[in-house]
Amino acid sequence: MKLPRDMDAAELIKALARLGYKPVRQSGSHIRLQCDGPVHAITIPNHRLLRVGTLAAIITDVAAQQKMDRDALIRLLRA
């Protein structure tokens, strides 16, 4: 499935909150999210539009940690 080209940091943070990720700190323009299940932390740049490569890396990392298919995660993010 194709990555969304118009996703910003706020949308991504809101979508990842459905998976249990919560903001734990912010340093400059980067927000650190953490999931409690098996502890997993990711950093998201707080930019208006996320670059496709950055978004792809975040999605791949989260999908691997959550043990779910990358396409299923993309569908969840779009919902």
pLDDT digits (tens, 9 = 90+) for 30-63: 999 999 878 999 999 998 899 999 999 999 999 9
* CA-based nearest residue to 33, from 11, 17, 55: 17
- Residue 3 per-residue DSSP state: P
Residue type, 57: A
* Domain at 9-74, CATH class: alpha beta
**pLDDT (mean) for 1-30:** 92
> In this predicted structure, what is the pLDDT of residue 13?
94
26: three-class secondary structure by DSSP: strand
Mean pLDDT across the stretch 11-37? 93
Contact in structure between 59 and 44 (CB atoms under 8 Å):
no
Q: What is the band of 2 on the pLDDT scale with cuts at 50, 70, 90? A: confident
In percent, the amount of the chain with pLDDT more than 90 equals 78
**Domain segments of the chain: what residues?**
9-74
Q: Which letter does DSSP use for residue 48 in this model?
A: S
The answer to whether 78 touches 71, Cβ cutoff 8 Å, is: no
